[in-house]
Structure 1
Amino acid sequence: MKLRWIILCATTIALATGAIWYVYRTLSLQPSAAGTAVKDTSQPSVRTVNGETVVVVAPDAQRASHIEVTSLIDAPREQTRPAYATVLDLQPLFDLRSRFAAAQADLDTLTAQADNSRDQYARSRTLFEDDQNVSRKSVSDANAMMRANDAKLRSAKIAVAGLGATLRQQFGEALAAAAQAPTSRVMEHLRAGQATVLRVTLPAGNGTDAPPQITVDSPDGKTLPAQRLSAAPSTDPALQGQPWLYLVSQMLPAGTRTLANLPATGAAKASLVVPGGAVLWYGGQRWAYVKTAPDSFTRRFVPGSGDGDPSVSHTPGFHAGDQVVIQGAQLLLSEELKPRGIATVCKDPPECDD
């Protein structure tokens, strides 16, 4: 009995000693684990520095996330002035060209007939005067035929000249010349839908001439080069200015109203060019992330002119040499907007689903 009591006491003391040792080890290891968690900088974090929100990403995490940056540079940008432009309906031009071609063919035929009639009359008259080898009636008939063909020729010339004048009055000198030519590359491109003619109304006081090369905004937001043709013979009643015709090597819907960009006088202005890949949209505005330290990124507002121009003026947020993120900006935005300070009892959220 005494031996059993001794064994029970020894067992109790051993269990108590083990429990005390387990509690001691647990409490002594907790601060060390917490310290290790605090020192773990592999995960991105967000902090506020000088009133700006900074996303902190370690260099190793930047490489793993393929975050790339490039430096802003000052680039000269040509100043432009806007002007209104309208795409012309070219069906009347094609119709007039067909009529002109038919009238020109008639003119060529009547010219040949008139030449032949004059030759026939000359031969008949010579034979009549040479001992009356032909009758007087033959000479008279040849003369009448010559006069009739000459009258038809004059009428055909008037018709061709009238169609030419109509072409110049409606479409200007350059298009009129192209429409009257037997073969014209401009007309071929226009008929094939590979080019478009625009009437650009230059601002009043622009001078007597127009720039030989301009750009116009297409409906899909692109900028297209345009080549000057000639002064436009008619203007838009709703616009005041000097109308000119320009050729664009792309099909645009007839009647489309758009903007033309005219070169402005004066030296080109230097601007900071922000690459298109650096701009992201948030809250209906344009932003770009600037790398302010080896592990820090700050989102800054990108002012825009609203016409798709990728350049920005010199603002406090951007300077030449600043490094902007051109790849991975959306990842930084997601990290910046991620909710903070939300804890969960379950370490594995899918396991918490009911």
Structure 2
Amino acid sequence: MSILLRWFFVPLLLMPLLSPAGQDDDDDAAAPAMPPTRQAGEQPAAGVVALTPQQQRAAGLVVQVLTESRRQPEFSAYAKVLDVQPLLALSTRQRALQADLAVYRGALSASQLAETRTAKLLQDNAASARSLQLAKAQRIADASRSAAAEQQLLSLRHEALQQWGPVLAEWLLGKPGNALERLWLRQDVLVELALPPNRALPPGIETVRLAPREERRQAVAARLVSAAPFTGDITQGETWFAIAPAEGLRTGMRLNAWIAGQRETSIGVELPVTAVLWRAGQPWVYLQTGEQQFVRRLIAAYHDNGDSWFVDTGLKPGDKLVVNGAQLLLSEEFRRQIPDEGDD
């Protein structure tokens, strides 16, 4: 409702400025010349509005000179915040097995010494053959427990490789590092990145942008870790692991991802979304092409960055863009296209 009222009242308020005041013929010669809003019987060019500097100030028009901007082409993918509980469970099992293995190896070392000592005592007739047999049996049992623990650790490594890939498996089974610690403390989150079936991750890509839904302006950088060894439930394309800051992200949350492509950087301009107005389902902007002239320009293609648009066709650096007052110019443009009552 407020927009409709603005469309109706703003042109009325500007009429004293946008239209020459009615005067007697005798006074016209002495009055300063002021460009008419439209010549009688003449229709203005579509998309063109002429305003004097005084009218522009009264309308509050603000013009910004566009500067060159560059953009790396990107494509969209999907992502999901993973539950790291299975990874933590593997880490817990690993530590328990390592503790058991240390105990079994200690027991094996002791039983080996006991067997050696008993064998020497038997040679000196200071121990019985049965004592040696018992010492040998204990050594064999300790060796078996130690070998079983080693095999369990090896199976755990294979399980980690199958589920999480070599990089995360090494983080898990190797020397504990800061990356895992940040995951355990939920300072970071682990993200599964799923590419469209017809896409591959370009070489050299180290980071991607992530945001809930399509809130591109709120996207955060996520660091790629490694390829995932499984196909996710989001798409049937390539899957990757990435780590992102945990702030605002929850386990199981679905995300949108933006990945830089391989094509060359595009050169264009970046304009604020406040400069864009919509008519007939298409986006338009006004450019100042002369001191008193403004032209409406169609934005045929753009890339939405949230609070700004990147445009590489139709606009160029140096163009003077109306960033405040475009809606008023549109109202004035179509008001001027309404024929006067005296026109044929």
What TM-score do you get using the length of structure 2 for normalisation? 0.71
Partner of 1:312: 311
* 1:67 and 2:41 aligned: no
Cα displacement (A) at 1:111: 1.8
The structural deviation recorded for 1:156 is 1.2
- The answer to which structure, 1 or 2, has the higher relative contact order (CA under 8 A, 6+ apart) is 2
Q: CA deviation at 1:164?
A: 1.8
> Are 2:203 and 1:239 equivalent residues in the alignment?
no
Partner of 1:4: none
Unaligned runs of at least 5 residues, structure 1: 1-28, 342-354
Whether the 8 Å contact between 2:287 and 2:296 is mirrored in structure 1 is yes
**Partners of 2:90 and 2:52 in 1: CA distance:** 69
1:127 aligned partner, one-letter code:
L
Q: CA shift at 1:285, angstroms?
A: 5.7
Secondary structure, counterpart of 1:109 in structure 2: helix
Once residues 335 and 240 of structure 2 are traced to their aligned partners in structure 1, the CA distance between those partners, rounded to angstroms, is 61
**Structure 2 Cα separation of the partners of residues 198 and 46 of structure 1:** 61
C-alpha contact (below 8 Å) 1:279/1:286 kept by paired residues: no
Tell me the equivalent position of 2:342: none
| Residue 202 of structure 1: how far off its partner (Å) | 4.3
Distance 2:50 2:109 in 1: 91
> How do residues 293-312 of structure 1 correspond to structure 2 at under 5 angstroms?
293-302=290-299, 303-305=301-303, 308=306, 310-312=309-311
Contact 2:49 2:329 in 1 (8 A): no
Distance of aligned partners of 1:340 and 1:310 in 2 relative to their CA distance in 1, 3 Å threshold? closer
Matches within 5 A, 1:112-131: 112-129=106-123, 131=124
CA distance in 1, matches of 2:181, 2:85: 14
**Matched residue SS, 1:154:** helix
Structure whose CA Rg is larger: 1
CA–CA separation in structure 1 for the residues paired with 2:271 and 2:194 = 33
Structure 2 residue aligned with 1:21:
none
Q: Distance in 2 between matches of 1:136 and 1:106?
A: 31
Change (3 A) 1:207 1:31: closer
CA drift at 1:205: 7.4
Report Cα offsets for 1:182-212 as digits up to 9, x if no partner.
4222212222323233333445676798544
Cα 1:254/1:279, change in 2 over 3 Å:
farther
| Aligned equivalent of 1:172, options 165, 168, 172 | 165
Query: Who is 1:13 aligned against?
Result: none
Cα shift at 1:63: 10
Quote the offset at 1:215 in angstroms. Answer: 1.8
Q: In structure 2, what is the Cα distance between the partners aligned to 1:94 and 1:111?
A: 26
Indicate if the aligned counterparts of 2:108 and 2:142 stay in contact, CA closer than 8 A.
yes
Counterpart residue number, 1:149: 142
Taking a change above 3 Å as real, the CA distance of residues 49 and 253 of structure 1, as seen in their structure-2 partners, is farther
1:1-354 equivalences in 2 (<5 Å): 49-54=44-49, 56=51, 58=53, 62=57, 65=60, 67-73=62-68, 75-129=69-123, 131-202=124-195, 211-219=204-212, 220-221=215-216, 222-236=218-232, 239-250=235-246, 252-270=249-267, 272-276=268-272, 279-282=275-278, 286-302=283-299, 303-305=301-303, 308=306, 310-315=309-314, 318-326=315-323, 329=324, 331-334=325-328, 336-337=330-331
Match of 2:119, as an amino acid?
Answer: R
Q: Secondary structure at the match of 1:310?
A: strand
Q: Secondary structure of 1:198's partner?
A: strand
How many angstroms apart in 1 are the aligned matches of 2:26 and 2:131? Answer: 132
What CA deviation, in whole Å up to 9, does each residue of 1:204-223 have, x standing for no partner? 67679854424234114333
Say if 1:46 and 1:336, in contact at 8 Å, map to a contact too: no
Aligned CA RMSD, in angstroms, stands at 3.9
In 2, the alpha carbon distance for the partners of 1:178 and 1:35 equals 89
Alpha-carbon shift at residue 322 of structure 1 (Å): 0.5
**Aligned partners of 1:223 and 1:46: how far apart in 2?**
48
After TM superposition, the score normalised by the length of structure 1 is 0.69
Measure, in 2, the Cα distance between the counterparts of 1:164 and 1:235: 21
Residue 9 of structure 1 corresponds to none
Q: How many residues align?
A: 302
